Structures are given as structure tokens and as C-alpha cells.
Structure 1
Amino acid sequence: MGGEKKDTGGSASEAVNPVLRISQLDALELDSSLEQLMWSQFSLCFQNLRPGLLTPVEPELRALLQLLLWKFTLYPNSATVGQSILNVRYHNSLSASPRYRPLSRRQKLGLAFLTAGPRWLQERSHNLLVALGLGPGGSERETVRNGVRNCFSFISSVIQFSSLLNFLVFLQKGQHPVLAERIVGAKAVFSKPNVVRDISYQYMNRELLWHGFAEFLIFFLPLINTNKMKTMLYSTLFGKTMPRDNNANGEMVWKECGFCGEWPTLPHTVGCRHVFCYYCIKSQSIADADLTCPKCGAEAALPTPVVMAVEER
């Protein structure tokens, strides 16, 4: 008798053991990511066909995808993919038994209908009006059409408001983050309630250390003049390839821009015979007030456009 009583208590704790709010929200996020992933992979199968081929039937295809996920995850196991990863499953909260009870077939069908149905109805509301013969027409038909449309809008607003209230109750009570779960009586419980939530303080300390170091770099790096450091490093490693040349009659070096190494765009000079792109020299001069030519080391004057003389024949 003592052993049987102990087993009953353990089963009861399995059903009433509370699930963390963050675990329930993470399970919903994982399920949403899985649905998006499957839809993107399904869309790739039609990427070489005519653009917009799936657009007319996209609501139906999304609903069908949700039903397929429900068929192979929630229906046989009373748990979605996200819940299975986080050691969570649904418990039939309508059952009076203290032991764990999986969802009934009616509850599973209710979850599938309340999950895929409202989204499909919202996306197909306009087409439903046309199918009911309430398309554009006379004044009487337009009045009925506006009335039905307002009815759909009111129902949608009520559902959204109810979902908001349900989420506020979830934040307080910690149960039923989705309105459909509360309606059908599906409660999230741990599959293995005796699992200890172990926290690795070594991992937490490492994360805190890297987070503090990243904040230090974010504060410190803007104070460093990286452009001047790169110029000094270039001069130290490669030296001054050309002597200082302030002679205005010197031949311009058109081979490449001194900063980007490409053919100069909108060529400008800074007093020496080297040519630079306008954007390169302007950005460098703004970043460094004491800019020098990276090629010859001459002090940079104001950027001036290069004037080319065209010989007439």
C-alpha cells in the first residue's frame, strides 16, 4: 500500500508540476521557426517555375503544412517539436485524475482547428465574400457586403483582444500562453518532472566576461584614429616609396589611388604628385586632420581636382 501511494503521488506531481514561462514561450518560438523553415524549403521546390505560381493558393498550402506538422507531432505524442526538445508535453487539464493524461482526440482536433483556422479565415475573407455572391455590385449588395466585412473585422478584433488578455493571465499564472490551449484544456507539463535544472556557473561567468569586454571595446574603439594608425603602419612596414616632391611641375602618378589601389575616380591631389579618388582622400582628411600622403609622406593640403590638358591635333 505504501509503494502504491508513493507511485500515485509521483504521477500527480508529474501532472501538476509547473512549467517555466520561458520554456513554454521557447517551445512556441521553435514551432514557429520550424514552420517557416519548412515553408521556405517547400517554396524552393518551385523557384524555377513561373513567379507567383503559389500565391493564389498560399493560404491553403500554409494551412496544409500546419496540419501535416500536427499529424506527425502533436497527434501521436501530445507534444509539438518545440515541446519535445524542451522536455514538455500537453496534459489534459479537463481530466479529474491526478495522474498524467494525454490529450483526447477531440482536444487535438480542436488545437489544429483553432491554430490553422483563424489565420486561413483572415487571409481568405475577401474571397469568401465573393464566393457568397457579395462581390462588387448594386447598392443593396454593397450594404450587405460592408456589413459582413464589418462582422469579420469585429470578430478579428475580439480574437486579438482575447489573445492579449490570455497572455496577460499567462504572465501572472504561468499557464496557457496561447488562447487555443486554454479553450481546449491543454496544459503544458514536464515530461520528466524530476530533471534538475542545472546551471553552469562557469559558462555564465565566461558570458559575463565576454559581455563586459565587448562593452569596453564599443566604448574604446571610437576613440582610436584607425586611419592614422594604418598610415603609420604602412609607412613603417613598406617605407616611403617616393621622396617628398612638392614640385608642381612633377609628373602625376596615375597608376592607382594611394588608398584603395584602384584607378582613381574623380581624381584629386593633395599637393604631391600622387593622385587619389575624391571619396578616399575626402574621407581620410575628415578622419585625420594631420593627414600625410601614404606613398611619399608629404603633408596633405586641401584636396584639389586634377586638371588634364588635352592636346589638339
Structure 2
Amino acid sequence: MSSPAPQAGPSSARTPDLDRFWHPPPPSTARLPALRATLAKVPSPALRISRVAQLDASLLDGELEGILHAPVKAALDGVRPAGARSFEPEFLALLRLAILRMSLWDRGATYGSTLQNLRYRNEGRHAKGLQGAATDSTLSRVQKFAYTLLVVVPPYLHSRLQDQMLTSSWADEPLPRSWFALVDLRRLLKRGARRDDEMIQWRREWKRTGWELLGVAERLSAVLGLANFLVFLYNGRYRTLIDRVLQMRLVYSQRAFVPNVSFEFLNRQLVWEAFTEFLLFLLPLVNMHRLRLRLTKAVSSRASKSTALRLLASALPAPVAGTLGLSSLRSSSSSSNNTGPLAPSDKPHGPLAFLPPHTCPVCYSRSTAPPTHLPSASFADPTLPSASLLHHTGGAGGPAAGDGDTSVKVPYVADCRFACRYCYYCVVGALAKADDEADDAWTCLRCGEEVHGARREEVEPAQDDEEEEEEEDERAGGASADGPEP
């Protein structure tokens, strides 16, 4: 009788399944560390970070520091007694330390960099082939500590040293005679009465040397900062000299990030600034006096023809009516009626139509008017026509009541219907005054019509020359007919 076959255990039953689903790693897996080591030697595309965003981050950090420092400075100025020492550099250093502790140490970026979607990374761990690596290495504690130390301590020491040097007048001390005199200790070890004098002189020279060295350090720092800024504009890697020394580079916190920044306020500000500059350019080109006169005359002429506007003008206060030119509405309406187009007639019917042609109406009206100033050329108004200075000379020839000469000088004729004669200076001055007062035309004093311009009077050729020529011809003909005397 045969014995039963042994049953297979559970381990033996699972072994084929494990053999079917599990395979040992391929031999190429062992080469991964070597490939990672050689990856740094392969050149990769350069990582480009916006230079404008980095500079904006620096400006935002400065604005934040100024906003927090302003109330602290105001409080210190109110508490500090007069003449006491100021602790402003200490408070400023503590403020910078607090800002860096809550921003750089906690998040790896300052507040301004965070607003610009930037953060610091340890650039020393990113070689040529790892510049565009997806994972950025964080800053080490040594870098954070060194950055905080370089940002806080040098400005504080510079401020304190400068205040101490200015207070003690180190800049007024004498210059050292030579650099060897500063380190020459033999004169300081001498005994006698001159030892104290040499020691005082040595201290004064060292003070002046310290002041000069501080100035050299400031200039050297400015030159190095300028050189680093030019290099930053070229490659966009290290924004400040401290970042370059510590190999701290600003990179994007999120590579695929769309900034949700509203430029509505910026656009509105740009529009208003452009509009303001345009107005500042345009307003000097506009004659505001003439524009105001034209508006006043337009309102006055429209009000003189409208009953509603006339009632409104009577209800307005006196200052407002005077500004709008409605205070003398009746007189303006009557003058507008007088200066309107006249009915055609055969003779001029202006206010001075009785004057003869050789008399200038403007000169006559000026000579018969009551005197308003001394009749002297030194007191003459330079804005008046030049003919007013010529009329002080006596002369005959007009029905003028005064002593001035009212005859036409340099005759010009107006472009009115009757071509009235005026002096050149008188008609030009009247037209210029009407243009300054924003009037469309000037009313002729002789015919009462509108005058828009003037031209030189054309003198007809005299008949005397023709008569003389005829007489000469007759004499020549008579002499030839008689013949020569015997």
C-alpha cells in the first residue's frame, strides 16, 4: 500500500508567484551615481532671472525699512533731550536684525523678494550643469549668519565712526608728515619734556589718518558696488556685492507662476502725469486774457438777445455778473447795435463824419479828449501808437480844438466801404487794441462800419509833369518854325 504524497507547504506555493512578479534590478542601475556625478560637467542652459524683479525687490525692502524706521525716529526725537547722544543707529541696526530674522531666517528670502516671487539659493551647490535644476538648494546657516552680519554691522559701525569723527573734528587735524612718522616709536620712547608733545602730535596725525582711511573705504566700496552692478546688468546673477561674496543668488520660488499684479493704479498715475505735462506745455501757448474776453463777449452778446438770459443776469450777484460781463448788459447791447452792419447810404454817418479827409479821426479824438497824463514824451504810454508821440508838435490844418497836429501822416485807408483815411500808426494801434480785446473788428470813426485791416493809400500821378512836357514840346516846335535869326 503506497503512502500518500506529501502536501506542499505555503512557502513552496508562493515561490512561483514571487519569481514571476519580482525581478532583480538591471545592471545599469549601478551606473546612476556615476551619471549623476558627470551631470555637473555637462553645460546646461543658463538660468535667467528678471533683473527688474530683483531691483524691485531691493526697492521694496528699502521702502519697508523706511516705513518702520520713521515712527521709531519720531519717537526718539521726542524723548531724547537736547544735546544728548542719539541712539538712532542702534535702533536701526536692531530693526534690520528683526526684519532679517523674520524673513531670511524663516523663509529664505526677504519680504521684497517674496513679493516678487524670488528666494535665495546656495549657488555654490549648483555648478554649470545644475544651474537650471528643478530643485534649488537652500541657504546654509553659515550663509544666513554671514549675510545678517554684513548687512547689519558695517552700516552701524560706519555711522558711529562718522559721528564720532565729526564730533571730535578729526577732519581738522593736521596731515601726517609721512607714513613712517606714524609707526616710528622711537620718538615716543624718548624721555624729557618733548615726549608729551610728540605723543599729542602723534595722536592728532592718527586721527586725521583715520578720517582719510574712512573716506578711502567709502570710495572703494562705491567703486566695487558700481563694478558689481555693471556685472549684474550683464549676467543678472548677483544683485549686490554681499550676494556675490556669499554666493547667494535670487531665483524664482515658483517657476510656473503667473503674477497677479494689478496695474490699474500705475496706469491711472501714468495717464494723469502725461495729461499734466501736456497741460503744462499747452497753457503757455494759449492767451488766457483773450480767451476770457472772447467768452465774456460771447456770453454778453447771447444774453443781449435772450430774455431768459437777461433775467438770469439781473438775478446774478454783482461779482459774478461782472466776471461774466453781464453787469453792463444794456450798454453792451446798445454798442453792439451801433457796431452792427449799417444801412447803405451815400455819405459816411459815423461819429466823426464831419472831419475833412486830411484830418485823422483818431488824432482828432485824442486831441479833443480831456488830458489823462502829462503831455511829455518821457511819460508816454509805450503801449499806445507811436503817432501819439508825434502829435505833440504844433501844426495847422484841422478843425481840432487842441494844439496838437491832427493831419494825416503816412496815409493809410481802411477796408471799410468808404475807404476812410487814417494815420498809419493810429489805424494800426486801433486794430491791435481791438485784437487784444478779442474784438472781431474795429468800428470806423468816420463811417461807422467795421474795419478788419488797412492798406497804403495809392496816390494818383500828378498832371503837372504832363503839362510841363506839353509846354516844352510847344516851345521846341515854335523855335524850329521861326528859324535862326540872321
TM-score, normalisation: structure 1: 0.61
Once the two structures are TM-superposed, the CA of residue 148 in structure 1 deviates from its matched residue by 2.6
Residue 128 of structure 1: CA displacement? 6.2
AA partner of residue 290 (structure 1): D
Once the two structures are superposed, residues 48-96 of structure 1 have per-residue CA deviations (whole angstroms, 9 ceiling, x without a partner) of 4457688621222211111111111111111111111110111111124
Q: Contact 1:90–1:189 at 8 Å: present in 2 too?
A: yes
Deviation at 1:198, TM superposition (A): 9.0
- Find the residue that maps to 1:115 and give its secondary structure: helix
* Aligned: 1:290 with 2:436: yes
Q: CA deviation at 1:23?
A: 0.5
Name the structure 1 match of 2:252.
190
Contact 1:16 1:189 in 2 (8 A): no
CA drift at 1:225: 2.1
Matches of 2:107 and 2:261, distance apart in 1: 29
1:282 matched residue in structure 2 = none
Report the alpha carbon displacement of residue 120 of structure 1 after superposing the two structures with TM: 1.7
**Per-residue deviation, residues 213-265 of structure 1 (Å, max 9, x unmatched):** 666545433222234434554673734325899xxxxxxxxxxxxxxxxxxxx
In structure 2, give the amino acid aligned to 1:41.
Answer: P
Q: Which residue of 2 aligns with 1:39?
A: 69
2:121 aligns with: 91
Asked if 1:240 corresponds to 2:326, the answer is: yes
Q: Which has the higher contact order (CA 8 A, sep 6+)?
A: 1
Aligned-partner Cα distance in 2 for 1:61–1:202: 37
Highest CA radius of gyration, 1 or 2? 2
Q: In structure 2, do the counterparts of structure 1 residues 30 and 207 end up closer, same or farther at CA, with 3 Å as the change threshold? A: closer
Paired position in structure 2 for 1:106: 142
Task: Using the TM superposition, give the Cα deviation of residue 41 of structure 1 relative to its aligned residue in structure 2, in angstroms.
Answer: 2.2
RMSD (Å), alpha carbons = 4.5
Displacement after TM superposition at 1:24 (Å): 0.5
Structure 1 residues 123 and 207, CA gap change in structure 2 (3 angstroms): closer
Per the alignment, do residues 205 and 74 of structure 1 end up closer, same or farther by CA in structure 2, a change over 3 Å counting?
Answer: closer
Partner of 1:177: 239
Say if 2:135 is the partner of 1:80. Answer: no
Quote the Cα distance in structure 1 between the aligned partners of 2:256 and 2:237: 20
Q: Secondary structure at the match of 2:327?
A: coil
Measure how far apart 1:173 and its partner are.
Answer: 0.8
Which of 59, 62, 65 lines up with 1:29 in the alignment? 59
> SS where residue 86 of structure 2 aligns?
helix
In structure 1, runs of 5+ residues without a counterpart are: 10-14, 246-270, 272-288, 293-313
- Whether the 8 Å CA contact 2:121–2:248 is kept in 1: the answer is yes
Aligned match of 1:303? none
Structure 2 distance, partners of 1:76, 1:51, is 38
| Rounded Cα–Cα distance in structure 1 between residues aligned with 2:138 and 2:118 | 12
Give 1:101's aligned amino acid: S
2:291 corresponding residue in structure 1 = 229
The amino acid of 1:112's aligned partner reads T
Compare 211-220 and 85-94 and name the one that shifted more: 211-220
Larger deviation, residues 35-44 vs 54-63: 54-63
Measure, in 1, the Cα distance between the counterparts of 2:74 and 2:253: 36
1:20 corresponds in structure 2 to 50
Classify the secondary structure of the residue corresponding to 2:138.
coil
1:119 to 144, 150, 155: 155
Secondary structure class of the residue paired with 2:250: strand
Query: Alignment identity in percent?
Result: 28
Q: CA–CA distance in 2 between the matches of 1:82 and 1:40?
A: 18
Deviation at 1:184, TM superposition (A): 0.8
The TM-score, its normalising length taken from structure 2, stands at: 0.41
Q: Are 1:83 and 1:89, in contact at CA under 8 Å, matched by a contact in 2?
A: yes
Cα shift readout 1:122-144 (whole Å, capped 9, x = no counterpart): 212246679xxx99882111122
| Correspondence for 1:150 among 212, 216, 220 | 212
Q: After alignment, is 27-36 or 106-115 more displaced?
A: 106-115
Separation in structure 2 between the aligned mates of residue 82 and residue 205 of structure 1, nearest angstrom: 22
Distance of aligned partners of 1:54 and 1:190 in 2 relative to their CA distance in 1, 3 Å threshold: farther
Hey, what's the Cα distance between the residues in 1 that align with 2:79 and 2:263? 53
SS of structure 2 residue aligned to 1:94: helix
Structure 2 residue runs of 5 or longer lacking an equivalent are 1-31, 40-44, 174-198, 300-319, 332-371, 373-434, 439-486
1:19 deviates by: 1.3
Kept in 2, the 8 Å contact 1:27–1:86? The answer is yes
2-side partners of 1:198 and 1:24: how far apart?
17
